[in-house]
A and B are shown apart, each in its own frame.
Chain A
Amino acid sequence: MELREMNHASTYIIQSQEEEIKRIALELHEGISQNLYSVSTGLEFIQSGIEHPDLQAYTKELSEIVNRTIKEVRLLSVELYPSTLMTLGLSSALKSYIKLFTSTFGVKINVESSGEEQKISESKGLAVFRSCQEALINIAKYADTSEANLSFKWEENLLEIVIDDIGIGFNVQEAIDNNLFKGIAAMKQRMTTAGGNCYLSSSIGKGTKVTIVLPTEIGGM
């Protein structure tokens, strides 16, 4: 296959995968959650009508399990697809992901922002969101540091996000040679598909820096 065809193919794979993930997330959120919610309300109603104490305790227990499941399903759905991306915008979606990230891995992220947020399309926003997620998770997995920085720079026609850590760093060429670069390669692929780019630099003992750029002019939406 020609290189151009290969790129088309991987663009297609990324897009159809994203669509499938979104479909599952919405199904969980709207279909399954709603049904569970009905079950929960019904159980509470039944519980109030039961006199037998053992049965009442049992119904209460079932009700708690259903409520816990509703919570789990909601978290899973958000984990799969950030539904706030389109409603609240990229900055908010990323900031709420960062909160979850810190309470999951214990790594604090200092967020800085300059300029005014621009509107970007869902597919572009998702590409940026997923790339940031990948960079942040890499920090939790490999950087061996308790803190990192993420900065948004909104310019008139350009969004630039820099994620850097003062962690252990790594030898980029060695990682490429050993075929250990798949997550970062996918991140770059996603960003070029979205019309932007992604750069990574790292040095051992000094840390790692990921820069994500995306043109935001209306024509590019």
Chain B
Amino acid sequence: MLSRKVCLVMEFEQSSKAEELTDLLLLECDQLKENMPCDFSGIALQKYGEMDVVWPYVSGNRNEKYKYITVRYGKGIAGKVISSGSSMTIASFPNDIIGKSTEYPIMLAEKIISAYACPLIWKGVPKGALLIGFRDPHTFNQDNYQKVKQTAEKVESLLASYYFGN
């Protein structure tokens, strides 16, 4: 058995590792938002061992609603990107969407008009989505897609620690 002291040290290391991971992923969100530039960026991820999707890391948020939002697999922009494994664009919310506006809670909560999201792959399976959003109508160009793709790759390389750290 491990001594109490060793356990405490391990716990401390684990929590500081989790903090470090949070810092890294938030930094990716911040940088993506600044480089684009866009109004909002966020990472949606499936909870470990579950189908439900949450928004653990965002930047440019106008309130704290994202913390409470849980998206069902296949619902909303994140759910659809994860279940289909392909990226998705919304040009002018709520005008050009499939289904009802209430199926897109992050768009409602953050007042996003134009959004683009691409899948985040872990072990060959889509596990999350990286999203950029604009609060005014925006036409996406190749440069936008390229920047999201680059950040997505960096985020993907950190997903192992997300799923094992939890």
User: Hey, which bits of chain A sit against chain B, CB under 8 A?
Assistant: 68, 71-72, 75, 102-108, 137, 140-141, 144, 146
**Interface range on chain B: under 10, 10 to 19, 20 to 34, or 35 or more?**
10 to 19
Q: Of the candidates A68, A71, A75, A107, which one forms a contact with B65 in the assembled complex, judged by CB atoms under 8 Å apart?
A: A107
A140-B108, A141-B108 known; A75+B63 contact, CB < 8 A: no
Let me know if A146 and B65 touch, CB within 8 A. yes
26 A-B residue pairs with Cβ-Cβ distance under 8 Å, sorted by A, are: A68-B51, A71-B51, A72-B74, A75-B72, A103-B68, A103-B69, A103-B70, A104-B69, A104-B70, A104-B102, A104-B105, A105-B65, A105-B69, A105-B105, A105-B108, A105-B109, A106-B64, A106-B65, A108-B68, A140-B102, A140-B105, A141-B101, A141-B102, A144-B111, A146-B63, A146-B64
- Min CB distance, B76 to chain A, in Å? 9
The one of A68, A71, A72, A106 in contact with B109, judged by C-beta atoms closer than 8 angstroms, is: A106
Asked whether any CB of chain A lies closer than 8 Å to the CB of B162, the reply is no
In whole angstroms, how far apart are the Cα atoms of A105 and B66 in the complex? 8
Residues of B within 8 A of A137 (CB): 102
When A68-B51, A141-B102 are in contact, do A106 and B73 touch as well, CB less than 8 Å?
no
What string of 1s and 0s marks CB contacts (under 8 Å) between B121-160 and chain A? 0000000000000000000000000000000000000000
Find chain B residues with CB under 8 A from A140 CB. Answer: 102, 105, 108
Complex Cα gap A104–B71 (Å): 7
B interface list, Cβ under 8 A from A: 51, 63-70, 72-74, 101-102, 105, 108-109, 111
Return the chain B residue nearest A104 by Cβ.
B105
Given contact pairs A103-B68, A106-B68, A107-B65, enumerate 16 new A-B contacts (beta carbons under 8 Å).
A68-B51, A68-B73, A71-B51, A72-B72, A72-B74, A103-B69, A106-B63, A106-B64, A106-B69, A106-B109, A107-B68, A108-B68, A140-B108, A141-B108, A146-B63, A146-B64
Known: A68-B51, A140-B102. A106 touches B66 (CB 8 A): yes
> How far in angstroms is the closest Cβ of chain B from A220?
33
- Identify the closest chain A residue to B68 (Cβ): A106
| Residue of A72, A105, A106 with highest tally of chain B CB at under 10 A | A106
How far, in whole Å, are A72 and B52 apart by their CA atoms in the complex?
11
Interchain CA distance A137-B105 in the complex, whole Å: 11
- Find chain B residues with CB under 8 A from A106 CB: 63-69, 105, 109
Q: Nearest Cβ in chain A — how far from B11, in angstroms?
A: 29
Q: Given contacts A68-B51, A141-B108, is CB(A102)–CB(B68) below 8 Å?
A: yes
A204 and B97 CA atoms in complex are apart in Å by 28
Residues of B within 8 A of A71 (CB): 51
